[in-house]
Amino acid sequence: MIGYFFRLLSFIKHLYSTQTGQNKSKNVKLSVYEQRIVTHRVDPQTMQITWRDIAGLEEVINELKEKMIFPVQKRHLNQQNNTKSHCLHTGVLLYGPPGCGKTLIAKATAKEAGFAFINLKPSTLTDKWYGESQKLTAAVFSLASKLGPTIIFIDEIDSFLRSRSSRDHEVTAMMKAQFMSLWDGLETDHQCQVIIMGATNRPEDIDPAILRRMPTKIHIKLPNIEQRKQILRLILENETVDPLINLSHIARETEGFSGSDLKEICREAALLCVREIMDSDTLSDDCIRPISQDDLQKATTKMKESKSLGGLTLDETLSYYS
């Protein structure tokens, strides 16, 4: 009975320490370098993005829960049973075409898990003084472990940790090597609650040694027809729309479009309704009509035209706009 009580107490203590990981930073002493890095920390409580803001990617969300959130929250199971069955994946790569929700997913993961989130930009680690970059790199890892469960997020990771070459600047080469060895330290530390999450649309440019440290690679593809319909429904959720609107039709028409393109279509359709008010002398602001099928159709056609401009020369583009 007493043993059961103590186990329950340690479980509650563990839960408390996991959930309040972000508050640990208030009581820990930080070095000068850690203080520079901590300015890039985003408090998950101030983040607005949740799983609900992501449409059509339930499988990805489940995989992230299983490999990132669950192992941290269920760490007591490993400690109690002395097993590593819920091993944390310290490296996760999200890759795929632009505008398909990689950054969105990273933010939602930090928010939903309640982990501290360090948005690491390569420029944060570069310093003109010799040796400073290495100290800053070390500070990223030491700060992360002080903050409790932490996601170190590196957007466009290919630009930071691209394949090493003999033409690399000495400082860059040293920084990459140091980054990798500190990362290995996470792998061997069973108490570790730090995850490095990278996002890229050019996975082929990432250094193979870095790819190896990211065993969880999640491909975020262009949305299929069903996913496009779900994204459109989510984006239009808080807009006033005509009840006769047919989102399946728009989803069918938008083959090859990203989530970000679909958002742009909805924005353009909403703008068409506002423009009518702006152009009219008689209609007042509260007369904005609901978004219709026709608005969405026009916005889709416009988006298709602007996407097809991608392959034009400068002269062709200028003549199109003139």
Ligand X SMILES: Nc1ncnc2c1ncn2[C@@H]1O[C@H](COP(=O)(O)OP(=O)(O)OP(=O)(O)O)[C@@H](O)[C@H]1O
- Interface residues with Mg ion (CB under 5 A) are 102-103
Which CB, 94 or 299, lies closer to Mg ion? 94
| 55 touches ligand X by CB under 6 A | yes
Give the whole-angstrom CA distance, residue 116 versus residue 301.
42
- Judge whether 136 and 175 are in contact, CB under 8 Å: no
Cβ neighbors of 51 (< 8 A, separation 6 or more) are 61, 108, 112
* Token pair listed for 321: 């706009």
The residue within the footprint of ligand X, chosen from 21, 56, 149, 198 (CB under 6 A), is 56
201 binds, among Mg ion, ligand X, none (CB under 5 to 8 A by kind): ligand X
State the number of binding residues for ligand X (CB under 6 A): 18
Q: What values do phi and psi take at 49, rounded to 5?
A: -80, 130
The residue within the footprint of ligand X, chosen from 102, 146, 228, 229 (CB under 6 A), is 102
Region of 12-20, 94-102, 169-177, 269-277 interacting with ligand X (CB under 6 A):
94-102
Which CB, 88 or 154, lies closer to ligand X? 154
| 231 touches ligand X by CB under 6 A | yes
**Alpha-carbon distance values, 114 to 47, 52, 207 (Å):** 10, 16, 30
309: closest CA among 320, 301, 296, 298?
320
Which CB, 67 or 102, lies closer to Mg ion? 102
132: closest CA among 28, 32, 30, 29?
32
110 binds, among Mg ion, ligand X, none (CB under 5 to 8 A by kind): none
Give the whole-angstrom CA distance, residue 204 versus residue 163.
9
The residue within the footprint of ligand X, chosen from 19, 79, 103, 142 (CB under 6 A), is 103
The site for ligand X (CB under 6 A) is made up of 54-57, 98-104, 199, 201, 231, 234, 259-260, 263
